[in-house]
Every structure is written in structure tokens, then in C-alpha cells.
């Protein structure tokens, strides 16, 4: 047997020598063997989990559940992809006493715990379990349904806490880690990357969500999202799913926003948000051309609520907001979160592009958002090239004027193939203005369109139902 061992060592020696010679040759040529790809690119989360895992808690509640599935149930189909956004939530929907499972994390050693509002919604009892198996009954300090943030307090001291990071420093493609209790499995860690930042979801446009591909499942809600430095950058809140489980798209609330909300809940018991009372619209390429912009950017003010903060300010309908308090506005979804973070009563400075007058400063006193005061604008279809307007107009009848509360404008009766249809005009729309000038009748429309500047789309202001929109229409050529 010893002879066999000697033979194996001797046989292996030439191979070792050949490998050594090959390595020397490669180094000499500047082609040293590279480390395995996994060693060079994959992060090591072990120290992070060891250091901060104990600050992540499991949350269970007893609550009165509905006897039928809600709109976020896995089998409730959505009409659009975003109609299938859901908040990962555990529990039997047909039970009256529902044991809900979620996650949270300790933000102060004296017992304050941050989680999602939907995790504790309707709870008659909230239990917080630590990794050392201690269990506490928690008191709900406050919850904000709009942001989905809740603050709890447990009677404990000397608790391990997380470190708070800066979400603005996150980069798309950066590695992140979630720790939570999916399906009740305590302290489960899942990793992934940041997929996008500043996502505005249909259910909430005041939160600039962090999108990731970290696996988030029922029970993960309210748990922390860490960066590689071990800092919490987000609170895991929502997922996109056709099945109710993880499908690669998850959304987290930025931690700086969540902490501000938690502080307001702690000190005031409620959250106060800034509000301008405007309906915003995305700036399309057609609208950008109508304003003389080289590329689309900013948030177009399509309408203002009567007696709202914007209506009493220097802002005007048709303005494109380019900056808010020095922060650039690239898309319309960038503005609401910035306004929402402002304290009501503060004087905000905005930079706007006003058609025909160029870029200028405008100021507005920020109001306080009320739940019933929200209003959004529908997005217009994409504008395409055409040769003629292709539109049939009629005068507004007295009943139509009363019904829509209008004393001017021309009603669209039919839209043929051409620039009008490509611009997004529909039968039933009421054209109110052309390039900022009011339309009293159909003749006004034809006259104003005929005198529109050459080489630039005409800017139409229209009423569609209860909404006011801007569209870019190529003049007849």
C-alpha cells in the first residue's frame, strides 16, 4: 500500500511541474491566470448577517380578517402589470382570527421597531419575537397607510440596532441584502441587486421606491434592505407577482423617508405632507418640441385644483417644472416625493419653463395634503407624424357647458387618421386652448391653428371628463 502511495505522488509530480512552468510562462507574457469569476464578483454577506441579523425581528398579529380575498389576493387579476402589485402578506383570508406574519427591525435600543403598516393593519394584538427567542407584546405608536410605514414600541432596553444608510448613494446594479421571515422562517437572508431607483407606483406617487430583484415573499414585509456596508437603505414593502410569490421584482421604501415618517409618528402621532394641488403630466417628445426643448424632461402642470396652493401661487397651468428647490426634475414622478417631504407652510422655489417666456423662477407656499385632495392626470398616447388634423368639431351645447362647468371650448365629435388621432385627441374631448389662447367656438380653433408657428407643434389644452391635459398637434401642412 505504501508503494502505491509513492507511485501516486511520483506520477503527480510532472503534472505539478508542468502547471508551474505554464504559470511562469503566462506571467511572463502578462497573462497570469485570473481568479475564478465568482471570487471576483460575488459579495460575502456573512459578516453583515452576523453583525445586524439580531436586530431583525419577526412580527405576528391577531386580527379580524375579511371573509373574502381582497384586491391584493394572488387570484385577483389586474388589468395592467401594476394592477398586480401586492404587499406580501401571510394569513388565511377566510378566517376571522387571522395570524399575520411579517418582519421588522429595531431602530433604537430602547425598543422602537420599524415595520410596514399593512403588516399590523387591523391588529388586535402585535407580538414581536427577537432572534434570542424573547417575545414581547408591542404597542402601535402610529401607522401611515399612504407610505406603508408603522412604528412599534416594545418594553425592552439594550437591544441590538441597525445602522441607517443613505439611499441616495445607492447605484443601480449595486448588491443589496434582505433579512426577514418569509413564510415565518425567521432570519432568512436573500440577496440581489438594485434594479432601479425612484420608482413611482400607481398606488402611491409620493414614495420614490427602490426596485430590486431580491427575493421577497409573504412574511418579508417590513424587513430591512441592507447595502454592502451593512447599512439599512430600505424597508421591503411590495412585490410584482402573478402568483402571489416572488417573481423578480420587489419594491422597498427608502429608509430616509421611512425614518422621517417614523419620527413624525413618534412626536406628532400623524404624518404631515406637502401638497401643491396640481395634476401632472409626463413631457412627451411632441410636447417637448412644442415648447422648443431639445429633449423631454420635467413635469408639466396640466391642471390646478381651484383654491389649491398652486392656484394661489406664481405657477401657471402649462408650466413645465424643471427644478424644485434646486433639485432637477427629469420625469413627472420626481416632483411629488419632493413636495411631499416639504413641511406645509414653507415657501418653495421652482424653476419652470413657460411657453413663449422661457425659463423663470416661480414660488409657491406648500399646503398640507389631505387624503381626498389627490388628483392625477391620464397619460396621453404617443404623438406620431401626420399630414392634416383630421378632426370634426362642434359647438358646446348649453347642457354640455353646465355638465362640464365650461363657458368656452369646442367639442371633438370625430377624429380621422392623421395628426389629431396621433396626438391623442378622442371624440368627446373639449379643446379649450391653442397655444395658450382660448377657443370660443370652432372658428377660433381653425384660425388659431392656421396661425400656429411653422415647424413646431401646436399646444392644445383639452378637457377629458374631469381631467385637463395638454397635447401636441402638428398644424396642417
Cell of 44: 460575502
What pLDDT is recorded for position 8? 40
- Selecting among 221, 237, 241, 422, the annotated active-site residue is 221
From the candidates 60, 86, 147, 148, give the one annotated as an active-site residue: 148
Active site residue 303: no
| Active-site residue, from 72, 103, 118, 144 | 118
Overall average pLDDT of the 46-62 stretch: 93
Say yes or no to pLDDT of 177 above 70: yes
Based on the residue annotation, tell me whether 241 is a catalytic residue of this protein.
no
pLDDT in tens, 131-175: 999 999 999 999 999 899 999 999 999 999 999 999 999 999 999
Annotated active-site residue 89? The verdict is no
Q: Is the pLDDT of residue 71 over 60?
A: no
Say whether 3 sits in a helix, a strand or coil: helix
C-alpha 7: how far from its chain's center?
67
Residue 150 to residue 139: CA distance in whole angstroms: 11
Residue of 305, 350, 354 whose CA lies nearest to 329: 350
pLDDT digits (tens, 9 = 90+) for 101-131: 899 999 999 999 999 999 999 888 999 999 9
More confident residue, 231 or 466: 231
| Grid cell locating 328 | 432637477
pLDDT of amino acid 63:
61
Can you give the pLDDT at residue 197? Answer: 93
| Distance (Å, whole) CA 133 – CA 156 | 14
How is residue 278 written as a grid cell? 396640481
In the chain the first and final C-alpha atoms are separated, in Å, by 97
Residue 30 has which C-alpha cell? 502578462
Q: Residue 310: pLDDT above 60?
A: yes
Instruction: Report the percentage of the chain scoring pLDDT > 90.
Output: 47
pTM, two decimals, is 0.66
For the cut 60, the answer to whether the pLDDT of residue 33 exceeds it is no
Q: Is the dihedral of CA 206, 209, 215, 221 positive or negative?
A: negative
Amino acid at each position: 500500500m505504501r508503494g502505491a502511495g509513492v507511485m501516486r505522488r511520483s506520477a503527480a509530480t510532472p503534472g505539478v511541474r508542468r502547471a508551474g512552468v505554464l504559470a511562469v510562462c503566462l506571467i511572463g507574457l502578462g497573462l497570469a491566470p485570473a481568479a475564478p469569476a465568482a471570487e471576483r464578483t460575488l459579495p460575502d454577506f456573512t459578516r453583515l448577517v452576523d453583525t445586524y441579523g439580531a436586530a431583525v425581528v419577526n412580527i405576528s398579529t391577531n386580527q379580524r380578517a375579511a371573509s373574502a380575498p381582497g384586491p391584493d389576493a394572488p387570484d385577483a387579476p389586474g388589468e395592467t402589470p401594476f394592477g398586480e402589485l401586492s404587499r406580501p402578506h401571510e394569513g388565511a383570508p377566510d378566517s376571522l382570527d387571522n395570524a399575520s406574519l411579517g418582519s421588522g427591525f429595531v431602530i433604537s435600543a430602547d425598543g422602537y421597531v420599524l415595520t410596514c403598516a399593512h403588516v399590523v393593519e387591523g391588529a388586535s394584538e402585535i407580538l414581536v419575537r427577537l432572534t434570542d427567542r424573547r417575545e414581547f407584546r408591542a404597542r402601535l405608536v402610529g401607522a401611515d397607510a399612504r407610505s406603508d410605514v408603522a412604528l412599534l414600541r416594545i418594553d425592552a432596553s439594550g437591544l441590538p440596532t441597525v445602522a441607517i444608510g443613505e439611499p441616495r448613494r445607492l447605484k443601480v446594479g449595486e448588491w443589496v441584502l434582505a433579512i426577514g421571515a418569509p413564510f415565518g422562517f425567521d432570519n432568512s437572508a436573500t440577496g440581489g441587486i438594485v434594479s432601479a431607483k425612484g420608482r413611482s407606483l400607481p398606488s402611491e406617487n409620493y414614495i420614490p421606491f427602490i426596485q430590486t430583484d431580491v427575493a421577497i415573499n409573504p412574511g418579508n414585509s417590513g424587513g430591512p434592505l441592507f447595502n454592502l456596508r451593512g447599512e439599512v437603505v430600505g424597508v421591503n414593502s411590495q412585490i410584482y407577482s402573478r402568483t402571489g410569490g416572488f417573481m423578480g421584482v420587489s419594491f422597498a421604501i427608502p429608509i430616509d423617508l421611512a425614518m422621517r415618517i417614523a419620527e413624525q409618528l413618534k412626536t406628532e402621532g400623524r404624518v404631515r405632507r406637502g401638497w401643491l394641488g396640481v395634476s401632472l403630466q409626463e413631457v412627451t417628445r411632441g410636447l417637448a418640441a412644442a415648447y422648443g426643448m431639445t429633449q423631454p424632461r420635467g413635469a408639466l402642470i396640466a391642471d390646478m385644483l381651484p383654491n389649491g396652493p398652486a392656484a394661489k401661487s406664481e405657477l401657471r397651468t402649462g408650466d413645465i417644472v424643471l427644478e424644485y428647490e434646486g433639485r432637477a426634475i427629469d420625469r413627472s414622478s420626481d416632483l411629488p416625493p419632493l413636495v411631499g417631504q416639504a413641511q406645509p407652510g414653507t415657501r418653495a422655489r421652482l424653476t419652470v419653463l413657460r411657453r413663449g417666456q422661457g425659463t423663470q423662477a416661480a414660488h409657491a407656499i406648500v399646503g398640507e395634503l389631505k387624503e381626498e385632495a389627490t388628483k392625477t392626470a391620464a397619460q396621453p398616447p404617443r404623438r406620431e407624424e401626420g399630414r392634416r388634423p383630421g378632426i370634426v368639431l362642434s359647438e358646446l351645447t348649453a347642457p354640455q357647458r353646465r355638465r362640464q362647468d365650461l363657458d368656452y371650448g369646442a367639442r371633438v365629435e370625430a377624429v380621422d387618421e392623421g395628426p389629431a388621432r396621433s396626438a391623442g385627441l378622442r371624440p368627446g374631448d373639449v379643446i379649450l386652448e391653442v397655444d395658450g389662447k382660448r377657443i370660443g367656438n370652432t372658428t377660433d380653433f381653425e384660425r388659431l391653428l392656421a396661425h400656429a408657428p411653422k415647424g413646431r407643434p401646436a399646444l392644445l389644452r383639452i378637457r377629458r371628463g374631469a381631467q385637463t391635459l395638454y397635447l401636441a398637434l402638428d398644424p396642417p401642412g
